[in-house]
Amino acid sequence: MSKLIDGKKIASTVLDRVAQDVKDLGQSGHEVALAVIVVGDDPASRVYVNHKKKDCAQVGIISLEYALPADTEQAALMALITQLNERKDINGILCQLPIPKHLDEKAVLSAIAPEKDVDAFHPVNVGHIMLGDCLLLPCTPAGIMEMLHSEEVEITGKHCVVIGRSNIVGKPMAMLMLKENATVTICHSKTVDLPAISRQADILIAAVGRAKFVTADMVKQGAVIIGVGMNRDENGKLCGDVDFAAVEPKASLITPVPGGVGPMTRAMLLQNTIIAAKMQNKIK
Ligand code: GUN
């Protein structure tokens, strides 16, 4: 059995499921549409938004891009979101981050209707994650759970160590693992003796955004290793938060970069759009 968790392959199964859902919804008279707002010209955002549009096209979801200039005023952005919230033909809305500094990100994310919030960044959806009863899950943690399930990784009773405490990945990841009965530890930049803690992990999830942060001495023999970040190493080569070459021999399962968590995050956005469309149309 391969140690490698093939995110691309698992994501393609999700995409097949989504494409079938889009077809079924279409046959019952419901087209599925995602609105993507992008403010300014951040090059990475452009790449991500193009991926999202391409992914939508692949599964038959209509994507509508709202590209606004970098000097867009808060009121104009809020007015657009209000308009999209009210449109019955739009099921999902996301505002690509980062947005320019003069804009109030918290207000923007809170303005998106929770039932259309396919990023699950709205405080109401964040609250549901805490309560363990959420329908829309943040895409990266949801994608990681899908991977672990697909690989039939035992979660109950296992020690899961999450490195990173971001609102987008670390915190919701910890909640999802807790919901599935893992014992969870969250580590971060102020953690004392992080290797001593990460070495206890049966499942280690690194979401730090630092190239090859997790080294072999930080890993227990036989652990499941999930790397979230995408970085460049000293030679400009794409690499993850985990020193793959050094850690792989100790791991029972490990995600590659690229082809690990990334494709799952992309797939889960489309799955969320389906969940949102079904919710809005009261379809199970
Ligand atoms: N920028 C980087 N990742 C994300 C994401 O998952 N959602 C949004 N809206 N912006 C991002």
User: Taking 70 as the threshold, does the pLDDT of residue 275 lie above it?
Assistant: yes
Amino acid type, 25: L
Amino acid type, 223: A
Q: Which pair of structure tokens corresponds to residue 173?
A: 């990841």
Mean of the pLDDT values across residues 168-191?
98
What H or E segment, with its residue span, contains residue 95? strand 92-95
Active site residue: 21, 55, 117, 119, which one?
A: 119
Q: Give pLDDT tens digits for 62-103.
A: 999 999 999 999 999 999 999 999 999 999 999 999 999 999
Pick from 174, 179, 180, 143: nearest CA to 161: 174
What H or E segment, with its residue span, contains residue 93? strand 92-95
Pick from 284, 249, 276: nearest CA to 88: 276
- Residue 95 alpha carbon to ligand 1 centre in Å: 8
For the chain, the domains span 29-114, 139-262
Q: Give pLDDT tens digits for 15-60.
A: 999 999 999 999 999 999 999 999 999 999 999 999 999 999 999 9
In this predicted structure, what is the pLDDT of residue 1? Answer: 56
Active site residue: 55, 96, 171, 271, which one?
A: 96
Mean of the pLDDT values across residues 254-269?
98
What H or E segment, with its residue span, contains residue 62? strand 62-68
Amino acid type, 238: L
Rounded to whole angstroms, the Cα distance separating 231 from 121 reads 24
**Which residues is 184 bridged to in the sheet?**
160
Burial (0-12, 13-18, 19+ Cβ within 10 Å), 235: exposed
- Residue 222 alpha carbon to ligand 1 centre in Å: 32
* CATH number, span 29-114: 3.40.50.10860
Q: Pairing between strand 183-187 and 92-95? A: unpaired
Closest ligand 1 atom to residue 119 Cα is 7
Q: What percent of the chain has pLDDT over 90?
A: 98
Annotated catalytic residue 119: yes
Output 234 or 56, whichever has higher pLDDT. Answer: 56
Closest ligand 1 atom to residue 95 Cα is 9
Give me the chain's average pLDDT, please.
Answer: 97
Annotated catalytic residue 250: no
Separation of CA 63 from chain center: 19
In this predicted structure, what is the pLDDT of residue 72? Answer: 98
DSSP of 135-162: SS--HHHHHHHHHHHHTT---TT-EEEE
Rounded to whole angstroms, the Cα distance separating 242 from 254 reads 9
Q: Look up residue 96 and give its DSSP letter.
A: P
In this predicted structure, what is the pLDDT of residue 2? Answer: 72
pTM of the entire structure? 0.97
Cis? peptide before 141, omega within 30° of 0: no
CA–CA distance from 87 to each of 33, 34, 35, 75, 107 (Å)?
Answer: 11, 11, 11, 19, 20
Closest ligand 1 atom to residue 265 Cα is 6
Q: What percent of the chain has pLDDT over 70?
A: 100
Rounded to 10 degrees, the C-alpha dihedral 52/56/62/67 comes to 10
- The CATH architecture assigned to 139-262 reads 3-Layer(aba) Sandwich (3.40)
Find the distance separating the first CA and the last CA of the chain, reported in whole Å: 36
- Residue 29 alpha carbon to ligand 1 centre in Å: 30
In this predicted structure, what is the pLDDT of residue 60? Answer: 98
